[in-house]
A and B are shown apart, each in its own frame.
Chain A
Amino acid sequence: MSASVAEVIAVRVPERSWRSEVRAMRVVWWRDMVRFVDDPMRIAMWLIQPLLYLFVLGAGLQTLSAASTEGVDLNTFMFPGILCMAMWFSAMFSAASLVMDREVGFLREMMVAPVRRSSIVVGKCLGGTTVAAIQGVIVLALAGLVDVPYDPVLLLAMFGLQLLIAFAVTAFGMMVATSFKQAQTFNSVMQVLVFPIIFLSGALYPVSGLPTWLAVLNRLNPLTYAVDPLRRLVFDRLDISDAARRTLAPGVTWWGWRVPSLVEVGIVLAGGVAMLAVAIFQFTRTE
């Protein structure tokens, strides 16, 4: 033993630079990837969940709604919403891991490293985004089963939107995770928030013709602006009647003005960045 330490390999810690920050982000991201890949059960569960929503919930409700969907399969209608939901759940899982890191003490290891705390949050957010996007791609691969064509342009555009949504939802999760320190509190908050946010987003129903109170809540829900462009993207490519398009994908309106997809995308991006900024602020201030 003493022989091996005699010729010890000394290393040095360089001065802090943008390069070390990038490395820190990358390794925080890398850790999320390692943990994701090492957990086949989690991946399997993630496959089951959207399938359940799509084919059990969708098929069941179809029997009620066949008349009002203008001949469009309810599964097709719900597909973009399910995509958002799937990413939501996986992003929340990543955010929860930040809370767990605090609980098992690992967070301290990252906090005392000579790197900016924002790098840790950003790395963590990128990890969550990647994992959520992978989840999204798995769901996207099922497109054919719900009569959404495997059109490369469509798929690519959907993937781009997905990345954005995955980022925004993860940022939201990070914001909640940095606000509530205990895993139990975090989980309760998420439980309370998840269904209102998903139900109010229009993931499961069209957003036109709603009662006023519901319409207002729907327009205030950030997830609305993630679901809508995704749905428009899909419906623009579907071979369906104009009536069906008007009913099922009417688009989000503000006082009668139809909000363009680009504005919606901008809202999601700005929201994501703002929530990430709040997460960084809280993380830097309190720990």
Chain B
Amino acid sequence: MLLMPAMSRAANSSTPPAIEVEDLAKTYGEVEAVRSVSFTVARGEVFGFLGPNGAGKSTTINMLCTLARPTSGTARVSGFDVARERDEVRRHIGLVFQDPTLDGYLTAAQNLRMHAELYGVDARVIPARMRQMLEMVDLWDRRGQPVQTYSGGMRRRLEIARGLMHSPQVLFLDEPTIGLDPQTRSAIWRYLRALQQAEGTTIFMTTHYMDEAEFCDRIAIMDRGEIVVLDTPEALKASVGADRVVLGTADSAATLAALNDRFGIEATVAEGAVTFQVASGEAFVPRLFAELDVGITSVTVSRPTLDDVFMRYTGSTIRDAETASTTSLHRETIRAFSKAIR
């Protein structure tokens, strides 16, 4: 389900968009954590905020959740101003933080009950809603156990169930799947998608897992406090187009010069490796070895990913991102290949 903001506004002009942000900025002393960010998220949309640690994602999410006051600019969530109508905003949002916020001594059911009571949910519907949420994240059978006996993945699932206990209109997730194994990550995405379809919940999330951003309807790439580009994952990948080649070499400068000389390629150096883009990576590698007289220690060819999109728009790789799982296999094959022919 892909809802563009313009469409939803046209369809129903009386309901405000889930999130409207205009020139939002946050400064901590000298540091400009977020610089004049603007965007709109439609109701029911899954919106991803992508960027390295320190890009300003968490600061933005904190402002939208009323946990931090904007230095300038405005933001409205469910039509309520995050600075002036904090309580109204809080009534309409759910939050899943980056760091755990469960009470380990309480059971899963007690944690959810506490949450529902704090949000003033009608006491008569709490048990039914609780059961539904716990069943959704496959924790119903473990509801009576203290949370401190849970694994990391179970806790995260419980946090998501809790964030949804009060049927929020917008669910904010700050790095919801960080540190989780791939199975749990995909399970969490399944829950989120199911719920989003059932209740039309708008989901706003931050991540630095590139592959995860693919689940989003739209992605904003953030770097150094600014949104550098905002579009659908497909459009973003299409905008890169070419394959990416990364060379490990003993002499980066010589390699850059040689590439420019022989192939007319403008390469850059990122994280100690020479990186450039060509239309067809696999076909290019044999030519590279045949014609380049600089020592090469490794070659990686990858299809365009959101990493490349990030690279394209920010000029650097996502600094602290985990090795993209989608490309690691590919990478190993090529590494073996380059060893064999040496």
Binding site for B on A (CB under 8 A): 1-2, 4-6, 8-16, 19-20, 23-24, 26-27, 30-31, 34-35, 38-39, 101, 104-115
Contacts and interface: CB of A to CB of B under 8 A. Distances in A.
A24 B118 contact: yes
Contact of B103 (A6, A10, A13, A106): A106
A114 B119 contact: yes
B119 A13 contact: yes
Interface stretch (B46-54, B127-135, B331-339): B127-135
Q: How large is the interface on B (under 10, 10 to 19, 20 to 34, 35 or more residues)?
A: 35 or more
A5 B122 contact: no
A114 B97 contact: no
Contacts of A110: 118
B271 interface: no
Task: Determine chain A's interface SS by DSSP, over half rule.
Answer: helix
Given A5-B195, A8-B198, A34-B106, A112 B65 contact: yes
A13 B121 contact: yes
Nearest to A20: B120
Contacts of A39: 105
Interface stretch (B25-33, B84-92, B221-229, B277-285): B84-92
Given A5-B198, A16-B91, A34-B110, A109 B125 contact: no
B90 A114 contact: yes
Interface in B129-170: 129, 132, 135-136, 162, 165-167
A115 B198 CA distance: 28
Nearest to A10: B167
A13 B67 CA distance: 19
B101 A105 contact: yes
A105 B128 CA distance: 27
Nearest to A119: B118
Contacts, number: 118
B92 to A, nearest CB: 7
B119 A5 contact: no
Interface in B188-204: 190, 194-195, 197-199
B95 interface: yes
Contacts of A30: 114, 117
A22 to B, nearest CB: 10
A260 to B, nearest CB: 43
Interface string B99-110: 111111110001
Contact of B91 (A10, A15, A23, A31): A15
Contacts of A8: 132, 195, 198-199
A31 B97 contact: no
Contact of B167 (A11, A15, A112): A11
B91 A5 contact: no
B69 interface: no
Nearest to A114: B90
A101 B105 CA distance: 11
Contact of B92 (A2, A13, A35): A13
Contacts of A35: 103, 105-106
Given A5-B198, A9-B128, A30-B117, 4 more contacts: A11-B116, A31-B106, A109-B115, A112-B90
Given A20-B120, A34-B110, A105-B101, A4 B87 contact: no
Contacts of A16: 87, 91, 120
